[in-house]
Amino acid sequence: MKLEIGNFHVKDIVFGKATSYKEGILTINKKEALDYVLEDEHITEADLLIVKPGDKVRLVPVKEAIECRVKVDGTTLFPGVTGDVIPAGNGRTHALKDCSLLVVGKHWGGFQDGLIDMSGEGAKYTYFSQLKNIVLIGDTDEDFEKNEQQKKNKALRWAGHKLAEYIGNCVKDLEPEDIETFELDSIMKRHEAVKKLPGVVFVMQPQSQMEEMGYNDLVYGWDANHMVPTFMHPNEVLDGAVISGSFMPCSSKWSTYDFQNNPTIKRLYAEHGKTLNFLGVIMSNLNVALEQKKRSALFVAQMAKSLGADGAIVAEEGYGNPDADFIACIVALEDAGVKTVGITNECTGRDGESQPLVALDEKADAIVSTGNVSELIELPPMETVIGELQSLARDGLSGGWANDEILGPSVREDGSIIMENNAMFCGDQIVGWSPKTMKDF
């Protein structure tokens, strides 16, 4: 497979007469874009806004982030979601870089939604404060779930994916400023010098625990709960085959933007042929029952060993119950003779005294921590709120609360907040963005 991603580096985003891109300026015809969104009868309200790094803006409840892109051959950007199920990972894709499309609820939030601050202390907790963002804010007729803690958020999330492709279409016929090329030869047909390098697989555990459809990550539009561990070409992940779901405490989530730009995959590509032989991605799953967790771990280990892996990186989306899948996978790989490093966050409780992972094992002796989801964060009032700040407290966002007998409410009368890191949108940056450093005291 050979994937070319042609990049257009966005210096500024403005509203104007025609949706277009020229000399670093992305112009969006707001009315036409909103008319396109509102073609979905389930979207009852919608607006488009632009926010940039340093703006005194707080966004909540944030539901999704997507990079605006287009397939140059005219095929669908997200197979099985915005169009037919077709292969991803080949050909040319054009991407608007240094920006994202954020999907924000106008009112209703839930366990899986989060917060982004574009400036101040809160900005350091999420990758998306660094990007120029097109914000789709809206409401839907999905009344059945508005007061539920768990929401599928389908209408707004689907609107975001379609709009990202709609906006990306403006660079379809333009010449990109630079091109990233991702290509791997068949494992059996690689140069002998490459074969002599340590073989490495990347094991991704996307969220797939919910047995009811509509919450989990999707692979080619297929609910990941239906999956068994599956070998995938890394290009498929980078090219829209996997999209984010609507489940898991928000700091632990992988947005669609994270799948499209996964830095761990890109780093493995950069090292391929130099220090390692990048064999590919094993897309595993997260389960609820212990027997299912063991079965998936065995599948992963067998697959890695059959591919000739000497080493593996395992990353989980989530924490708590998924920790058992994460550790079981690492142990199975180590037992198969595959040296393994894990990437995950920790949950130590607000007092810092709880076991950081639900399951532990002596064989899991190389884990990269991306921080503590329970860390308390206090933030001052923000000049502008996009969405509804009270949703943090009212709607059960994973890091917020209506009232705590010691700490009081998450959202205070003056607009300042106290919350757990849990509610920072994709804040743990488990895919590889995380800048956090461990220090001994």
pLDDT for residue 441: 74
What whole-number distance in Å separates Cα of residue 213 and Cα of residue 226?
10
Residue type, 419: M
Closest by CA position to 327, among listed 302, 335, 278, 201: 335
In Å, how far from its chain's centre is CA 111? 16
What whole-number distance in Å separates Cα of residue 177 and Cα of residue 384?
34
What whole-number distance in Å separates Cα of residue 369 and Cα of residue 395?
29
**Which pair of tokens denotes residue 194?**
């490459």
What whole-number distance in Å separates Cα of residue 109 and Cα of residue 396?
8
Closest by CA position to 87, among listed 283, 232, 184, 257: 232
Q: Please report the sign of the dihedral spanned by the C-alpha atoms of residue 358, residue 311, residue 432, residue 181.
A: negative
DSSP notation for 230-254: EEE-HHHHHTTSEE--S-S-GGG--
Long-range contacts formed by 36-39: CB under 8 A, 24+ apart: 36/162, 36/163, 36/166, 37/136, 37/138, 37/159, 37/162, 37/163
Backbone angles phi, psi at 323, to 5 degrees: -60, -35
Q: Are strands 242-243 and 218-219 parallel, antiparallel or unpaired?
A: antiparallel
Quickly tell me which residue has 């939030």 as its tokens.
109
CA distances from 241 to 90, 92, 220, 257 (A): 11, 15, 5, 12
Cα first-last separation, the chain? 48
Quickly tell me which residue has 């119950």 as its tokens.
321
**Which pair of tokens denotes residue 370?**
């991306």
What whole-number distance in Å separates Cα of residue 434 and Cα of residue 441?
21
Q: Is the separation of the CB atoms in 116 and 379 below 8 Å?
A: no
Expressed in percent and rounded to 5, the helix, strand and coil fractions of the chain are 25, 30, 45
What whole-number distance in Å separates Cα of residue 399 and Cα of residue 374?
8
- For residue 177, the number of C-alpha atoms closer than 13 Å in the C-beta half-sphere is 13
What whole-number distance in Å separates Cα of residue 298 and Cα of residue 136?
42
Q: Is the separation of the CB atoms in 346 and 372 below 8 Å?
A: yes
Helix (H, G, I), strand (E, B) or coil at 76: coil
303: how many CB neighbours lie within 10 A of its CB? Answer: 21
Closest by CA position to 411, among listed 428, 399, 424, 426: 399
Secondary structure letter of residue 198 according to DSSP: P
Helix axes 321-335, 290-307, angle to 10 degrees: 40
55: how many CB neighbours lie within 10 A of its CB? Answer: 19
Predicted confidence pLDDT, tens digits, the chain (441 residues): 999 999 999 999 999 999 999 999 999 999 999 999 999 999 999 999 999 999 999 999 999 999 999 999 999 999 999 999 999 999 999 999 999 999 999 999 999 999 999 999 999 999 999 999 999 999 999 999 998 989 999 999 999 999 999 999 999 999 999 999 999 999 999 999 999 999 999 999 999 999 999 999 999 999 999 999 999 999 999 999 999 999 888 999 999 999 999 999 999 999 999 999 999 999 999 999 999 999 999 999 999 999 999 999 999 999 999 999 999 999 999 999 999 999 999 998 888 888 889 999 999 999 999 999 999 999 999 999 999 999 999 998 999 999 999 999 999 999 999 999 999 999 999 999 988 877 777
CA distances from 18 to 26, 33, 103, 381 (A): 10, 10, 22, 36
Closest by CA position to 97, among listed 70, 72, 68, 126: 68
- For residue 80, the number of C-alpha atoms closer than 13 Å in the C-beta half-sphere is 18
